[in-house]
Structure 1
């Protein structure tokens, strides 16, 4: 679900730098943040969260056993978020899903996810970045939506070969034309996002993802859960 925050589903990773004589990226955004912890991931997930070579992209296809909001009263909020390519108001079972992860030249990772409901295909877009921290490991932030106007800071942890992400901060990003700058406005964390990713227990090459948005008052407000197959291909492939 990528991997992005709302999946943000699953994700591969961007690159921190590329040698001018080598098309292989040096580190993914996840490697930069996790450091040696990444070696504790299941081999399948190490490949998934590892770097994508220049000229390639990651592609995944699968089915989510459930996708969508848990409370019908929140559908107007999710309808607005669907217009921004963040979340969506539809919900259902056995929802076909695709993802494309594209490494950017500046080391970020952009992802596009599509959920094929019977009457509409919903899109979620985001860009992951590793933000340097003086004297420490980089922070991971995910900028969501068509204009990347919502920013989420994520905490990563490896557990029993799988990866867990948890949101720790939320900001609204607004461009200020006069100052030619971006204004970051902190928002209250009314929900917490968690993402759990692991290799499929059948050992068939698929991986499982479970993304939840949870409120301390009403419980789960949005979730998608399922499995997908993933590969890295050259961009020229259809």
Structure 2
């Protein structure tokens, strides 16, 4: 799990308060989120960014055979081959003028630093996440509120090459659960898992 502290609204222009991608994807269900998560997943004013930092108790994959594939994905800023404990983590969320939300996540494994990037948009009411420094991997996400926390599950995958979109078979599923810490509501726990049929958890 992640203990996650968010410091929002670091910027100069607070004039624009368009609904966030999460507000648009969840609709009326957004109000069922815990207050801290409503703040985090809510609007970031135009010209501002959201910043957070914390520690992942576990981050990476336990499968050594996957490391060559994950190393290639690390070069593209999607995933990474390392497996670590107590991994320092930071994130910067930046809203786009087109209503999108871009994030840069940094994981620190001792002397090695890994970066993950993505941009989220709402397309026909569904949250779509494009990952990597070239945003070449697209993931459609089902978003829901469960007991005040946010739950996201991948439903479709596709490769994006310029204007070309190539659907991929759903060989893996991503699940994310984010909730507030029962002992400290100012902190957040994040649990992200990528699983495959017959194999189980590939990345955590």
Sort the TM-score into its range (normalised by shorter chain): over 0.9
Instruction: Trace 1:144-159 onto structure 2 (pairs within 5 A).
Output: 144-159=131-146
5+ residue gaps, structure 2:
9-13
1:58-73 to 2 correspondence within 5 Å? 58-73=50-65
1:125 aligns with 2:112: no
> 1:44 — aligned with what?
36
Deviation at 1:10, TM superposition (A): 10
- Could you tell me how far apart the structure 1 residues matched to 2:5 and 2:63 are? 24
TM, length-normalised to structure 1: 0.79
User: Following TM superposition, by how much is the alpha carbon of 1:189 offset from its aligned partner in structure 2, in angstroms?
Assistant: 1.2
Structure 1 residue 90 and structure 2 residue 90: aligned?
Answer: no
How far the C-alpha of 1:119 sits from its partner, in A, is 2.5
Deviation of residue 188 (structure 1)?
A: 1.1
Instruction: Please state how far the C-alpha of 1:24 moved relative to its aligned partner.
Output: 3.1
Aligned residues: 197
**When the two structures are superposed, what TM-score results if normalisation uses the length of structure 2?**
0.92
Would you tell me which structure has more strand in proportion to its own residues?
A: 2
Query: For structure 1, which segment, 198-207 or 73-82, has the greater mean C-alpha deviation from structure 2 after superposition?
Result: 198-207
SS of residue matched to 1:27: coil
Provide the residue aligned with 1:216 in structure 2.
Answer: 197
The root-mean-square deviation of aligned C-alpha atoms, in Å, is 2.0
Distance 2:85 2:154 in 1: 26
Q: Work out the CA distance in 1 between the residues paired with 2:6 and 2:96.
A: 14
In structure 2, how many angstroms separate the alpha carbons of the residues matched to 1:71 and 1:24? 45
Q: SS of the residue aligned with 2:71?
A: helix
Q: Which residue of 2 aligns with 1:24?
A: 16
Distance 1:215 1:11, change over 3 A: farther
Which of structure 1's runs of 4+ aligned residues deviate more than 4 A?
A: 9-13
Q: Distance in 2 between matches of 1:60 and 1:208?
A: 12
Q: What is the aligned partner in structure 1 of residue 167 from structure 2?
A: 186
1:161 paired residue number: 148
